[in-house]
């Protein structure tokens, strides 16, 4: 797996191509997971990337920086997680890099963070080195919320991983021959 981790996007791309070719049920599962088509999600991801490119290297100011944080968190952990990562976690072969990435992106602590974002239970750390968020430690609805932190570097990794998987899915599953 060390070589695969150095070429993660290529590995995921190859796994998706192979699995979609050998298991047509995966393409159907991706289509059926949401009323939004893979092609539409692909277009949204392209618009998201264009926005992110516009923000790179500029002094964009606090308001735009905050908007970027919200947009990234929503796209990476809610929009993509519910539509694709959960499906891929179930459908991809055991031991595949894609399945392992999707498992990471849908398990705690990312899952707890996703829920905190979805329910508005997050804030910036006082020194802006990361985010604090409140989530339940388990699945019990009556359990009180606990406070957690994610550093800027860890959050950047989570977002980069989510985008890596999503861009591969968008390009492989969002193509006309996979519809």
The bridge status of strand 130-135 relative to strand 122-124 is antiparallel
pLDDT tens for each residue of 153-173: 999 999 999 999 999 998 887
Q: Does 147 score more than 70 pLDDT?
A: yes
**Length of the chain counted residue by residue:** 179
pLDDT tens for each residue of 48-96: 999 988 888 667 788 888 899 999 999 999 999 888 999 999 999 999 9
109 CB burial (10 A radius; 0-12, 13-18, 19+): middle
The token pair at 141 is 């609805």
Predicted TM-score (pTM) of this structure: 0.88
pLDDT tens for each residue of 29-39: 888 888 988 88
CA-to-CA distance for 57 and 76, rounded, in angstroms?
Answer: 21
The pLDDT-based confidence of 2 (bands split at 50, 70, 90) is low
> In a 3-state reduction of DSSP, which class is residue 174?
coil
Q: Where are the domains of the chain?
A: 9-178
């Amino acid at each position: 797996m060390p070589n695969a981790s150095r070429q993660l996007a290529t590995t995921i791309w190859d796994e998706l191509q192979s699995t979609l070719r050998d298991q047509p049920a995966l393409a159907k599962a991706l289509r059926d997971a949401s009323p939004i088509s893979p092609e539409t999600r692909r277009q949204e991801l392209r618009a998201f990337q264009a926005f992110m490119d516009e923000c790179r290297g500029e002094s964009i100011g606090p308001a735009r920086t905050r908007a970027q944080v919200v947009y990234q968190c929503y796209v990476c952990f809610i929009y993509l997680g519910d539509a694709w990562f959960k499906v891929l976690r179930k459908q991809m072969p055991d031991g595949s890099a894609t399945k392992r990435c999707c498992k990471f992106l849908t398990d705690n602590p990312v899952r707890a963070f996703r829920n905190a974002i979805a329910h508005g239970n997050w804030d910036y750390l006082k020194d802006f080195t990361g985010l604090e968020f409140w989530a339940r430690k388990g699945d019990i609805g009556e359990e009180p919320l606990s406070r957690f932190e994610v550093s800027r570097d860890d959050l950047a990794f989570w977002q980069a991983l989510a985008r890596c998987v999503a861009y591969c899915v968008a390009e492989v599953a969002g193509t006309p021959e996979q519809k």
